[in-house]
Amino acid sequence: MSGGRFDHEMGLIKTLYETKKLTNIPLLLVNECSVTFLLDEGEHTIRASTGYEAKYVGLIPVGQQCQVTTTGLQWNLDNGTLSFDDIVSTSNRILDEIVHIKCNRPLLFTMEYKNDMIN
């Protein structure tokens, strides 16, 4: 669900972080063109083969820098540092049906999906 205004969007992102402290149940933010969720520290496998995915993804560290390694993307990272005061990974592209992500801190993951999925 989208907040519409930017301050609402940021409030929803904060909710992703707060929810992780309370439960292991994943919380997804879904709007008209993307799904966003928080990856915990560790290794993750994301299957990008449902047919609903579009091409763009973003890996965004919120609040602190994050060391990230990825495979399956156009611009993979090999223990790269993502940080708001340096580099964030936006407008990256999915190349493989399976994307692997390893991060040393929580990392926001956002993925575009085809607009006709919800119409």
Rounded CA separation 88/51 (Å): 26
Averages of pLDDT over each 10 residues, the chain, 119 residues: 76 92 89 91 91 86 95 97 94 94 97 71
pLDDT for 117 equals 53
The domains of the chain are located at 37-117
* Whole-number pLDDT of residue 53: 72
Q: How many CB atoms lie within 10 A of CB 109?
A: 19
Q: What does the angle CA 30 – CA 102 – CA 22 come to, to the nearest 5 degrees?
A: 55
Q: What is the pLDDT of residue 104?
A: 98
SS3 1: coil
What's the pLDDT at 2?
Answer: 55
pTM for this one?
0.88
Indicate the class that CATH gives domain 37-117: mainly beta
Quick one: pLDDT at residue 3?
56
Q: How crowded is the C-beta side of 48, counted as CA atoms within 13 Å?
A: 27
Q: Which residues of 66-93 are buried (b: 16+ CB within 10 A; e: fewer)?
A: bbbebebbeebbeebebeeeeeebeebe
